[in-house]
Every structure is written in structure tokens, then in C-alpha cells.
Structure 1
């Protein structure tokens, strides 16, 4: 589970960085992505969110969500 949390924190960092680069507030990102502001906050905190929400936010920011196998 620690690897999963680390991955969510990296996603949070990238989403926050992209949002700020676009010059958008959390409210504006939420409106553009069609999600609630609390959902944006959860993503930017690295909390668990559903993939549909994460996909909408990533799409609006021009980011790609990728799943890859874990290396042992």
C-alpha cells in the first residue's frame, strides 16, 4: 500500500502543477472538468478518488493517466 500512496501523491503534485500553470483556481478546474471542487481538493491532496473523476481532471489539464505493471 505505501507504493499506492506514493503514486497518488505524485498524481496530486502533477495535477496541482498543471492547474497552476494554466492559471486556474480549483473552482475553475472543477467547472471545466465537470466535477465538484471537493473532488479537485481530494485529487490535489493525494486522496483516493474514482478513476472517472481523475480522468476528467487529467483530460482538461492535458495530462494522461497511465496504469503500468509493478516491478518486483
Structure 2
């Protein structure tokens, strides 16, 4: 499954924003979605790949400082 990827993403997010609440929910078999404050910012099924974890962590940090939630564009090679 995707548990190891989720755990790595969670680790990177918490390294940048220690107070963030990071939750993993098992969904459809091939899905890996990222939501920030209830807004979908990345879907593996839509982008055909995984998000760049550094970008996710950076966006969480931006949002924690009051910036708006925005979609992620990059995906892992």
C-alpha cells in the first residue's frame, strides 16, 4: 500500500509545521489525495503520479502563515 509514502509525507509536513494535524485515510485502491483545510490540492488519479512531498510541506507551511490554499502542480518524476 501507500502507507510508507504517507508516513514520509507526514514526517516532512511535521518537520516544517510541527503543530499540523496530518491524517491518513484509506480510500480507493489507487488513490492518493492531499487535502489542506478540506480543500483537495492534489489527486494521484488526476495527475497520474504522486505529489512532490517538499511542495506539499511548503504549501502547508504557507497556509499555516495565512496564505491561501492553492492546487499543487508538480508530481514526482
Task: State the TM-score bracket (shorter-chain normalisation).
Answer: under 0.3
More helix by share: 1
TM-score (norm 2): 0.26
More strand by share: 2
